[in-house]
Amino acid sequence: MLATELIYDYFGVMSDRCNFPQLLAGHGVRPTPVRLAVLEILGEAEQALRTGEILKRLRTRRRVNKVTIYRILEDFTARGILRKVSLDDRAAHFELACEHHPPHPHFQCLTCREVQCLDPVPLSRMWAEIQGPLGNRADRIDIRVAGQCHKCREGQ
C-alpha cells in the first residue's frame, strides 16, 4: 500500500467520532456522565492534555471533584482506554488509546510544555513490524521529540 493511501485511511478513521458508551462497555466500565465527559474532552482535543487542562475544560460543563478525575484518568489508563504520554516528570498528558487513535510520536515544547500529536503513519507501520516477525510482544511504543513550538517561537 502506498503511504498516501495510509494517510487517507488514517484521516478517514479519525473523522469518525468514537462511540464512548460502547468503548466503556467494551472495557466493563459503567458510562457515567463524568466518565463520558472526560472522553469527550479528550476526543475533541487535537493534542494530549494534562490533568489540569482536562479539569479546567470539565469545569466549564459540570461540577467535578479533582480526586474523582485523577482516579478516572488512572483507571482508564490502566484499562487501556487512555494512553498516558509522559514526556517529563512534571505532568502526565493523556489521550485516547482506542482503535481510532493508534500510537504515534509526540512533540513537546520545552517552553510552554504543550504536547502535540505527530503523524502516526510511519510509526504504525513500525509498530506492526515490531509486533510481528520475532514473536515479541510489544505493549507500548514511545517516540518523543522535544523542542520549541511555533507559538513560542513567534513570541520571541
Binding site for Zn ion (CB under 5 A): 18, 48, 95, 98, 100, 109, 111-112, 117, 149, 152
Task: Give alpha helix (H) positions in 19-156.
Answer: 20-26, 33-44, 51-59, 66-79, 121-131, 150-154
Quote the least distance from Cβ 20 to Zn ion, whole Å: 8
Quote the least distance from Cβ 10 to Zn ion, whole Å: 13
Quote the least distance from Cβ 110 to Zn ion, whole Å: 8
Residues 9 and 120: beta-carbon distance below 8 Å = no
Nearer to Zn ion, 68 or 116 (CB): 116
Q: Which residues pair with 49 in a beta bridge?
A: 94
Give the residue among 21, 8, 22 at the shortest CA–CA distance from 121. Answer: 8
Quote the least distance from Cβ 109 to Zn ion, whole Å: 3
Nearer to Zn ion, 18 or 138 (CB): 18
Give, rounded to a whole angstrom, the gap between the first and last alpha carbons of the chain: 43
Q: Which residues pair with 96 in a beta bridge?
A: 82
Nearer to Zn ion, 38 or 67 (CB): 38
Place of cell 515490531: 130
Nearer to Zn ion, 24 or 109 (CB): 109
Quote the least distance from Cβ 17 to Zn ion, whole Å: 8
Nearer to Zn ion, 72 or 98 (CB): 98
Q: Which residues pair with 3 in a beta bridge?
A: none
